Chain A
């Protein structure tokens, strides 16, 4: 017994949908805005740097293995040097002794870079409120996405990752580049 799929019909449906979305491009070409294309490419090729310090690490591992398979979202490849990573996963408790290390790791990452605070401790210090724990990684470095939970369920992590992908998609590379260039020129010459 084989599956009875009406490919003719599916094809036609797809064509209609595309036609409605935008006028048909000349055959053999794909048309998109550069910003969108770059955002699309970036969001599916996330190289992550796992900064794992505590118990949340176990849940981070379970997101990576086949049950949840973070690779489905193009984020399966951890890099253990910050210079090759795009997304810094702060996984676990950050204490004041480690804070300079976290800051240096962040500073070594090349633009574009994003930060995910994984779990209650990385987001806010969690239930550790004492002389040694930093009350959230955002006291040290800017954070884009916070994933709650102690530790978060793998589903929550994937949800956070999808939110980050949406943010990456919308970021608007060309505008950001222009702004950075302007800022750089200003810092070099004093005037824009």
Chain B
């Protein structure tokens, strides 16, 4: 059973004003659909904002639930980092996003804040090619080292495989290739 909540959840509006009071105009957009609070922050302040969300006693979003990325191919900026946070004490959840342009696909690593970010960021690097500044061990985690390209980018060919051993017969007819 969950332990009783010791502090009431902060309302979304007061959370926004707390962030604004501390950072100024760092939140580029915010939304609250069906109780799912989302903020989009500046990429340059990514680590600072998340550190604040984690450490400020009134917020205390101390659990990193998930970290992933979305490829909005055709939009500018192209990529969007998504982080889901949970505050154990208050039970409040928050989604934090930041847009990343294709030509400079880098963002600060969250490993200094949560060690669990390590493998999640390696997966995002493996699948989307986002580079995490300050990551201690940025290697591919699922694909093999000689794999070229990033398979979850929308411009990676859907069925293009990169065999490591010579195949006895072709995997598919040429015209089937997409």
In the complex, A100 has a CB within 8 A of chain B: yes
In the complex, A142 has a CB within 8 A of chain B: yes
The reply to whether A100 and B165 contact each other, CB–CB distance below 8 Å, is yes
A139→B143 CA distance, assembly (Å): 19
Bitwise interface map of A from 130 to 148 toward B, beta carbon under 8 Å scored 1, else 0:
1111110011111000000
In the complex, B72 has a CB within 8 A of chain A: no
Which chain B residues (72-90) contact chain A, with CB distance < 8 Å? none
What total of A-B pairs shows CB separation below 8 Å? 48
> What is the interface of chain A mostly: helix, strand, loop, or mixed?
loop
Nearest to B144 among chain A residues (CB) is A97
B159 neighbours in A (Cβ, 8 Å): 129-131
In the complex, B160 has a CB within 8 A of chain A: yes
Nearest to A133 among chain B residues (CB) is B161
Interface size class of B (residues with CB under 8 A): 10 to 19
A33→B164 CA distance, assembly (Å): 45
Nearest to A136 among chain B residues (CB) is B171
A75 neighbours in B (Cβ, 8 Å): none
B171 neighbours in A (Cβ, 8 Å): 134-135, 139
A129→B158 CA distance, assembly (Å): 9
B169 neighbours in A (Cβ, 8 Å): 138-139
In the complex, B162 has a CB within 8 A of chain A: yes
Which chain B residues (133-150) contact chain A, with CB distance < 8 Å? 142-144
Query: Other than the known A97-B142, A139-B171, what 9 A-B pairs have Cβ atoms closer than 8 Å?
Result: A96-B144, A97-B144, A99-B165, A131-B151, A131-B159, A131-B160, A135-B172, A138-B169, A139-B163
Binding site for A on B (CB under 8 A): 142-144, 151, 156, 158-165, 167-169, 171-172
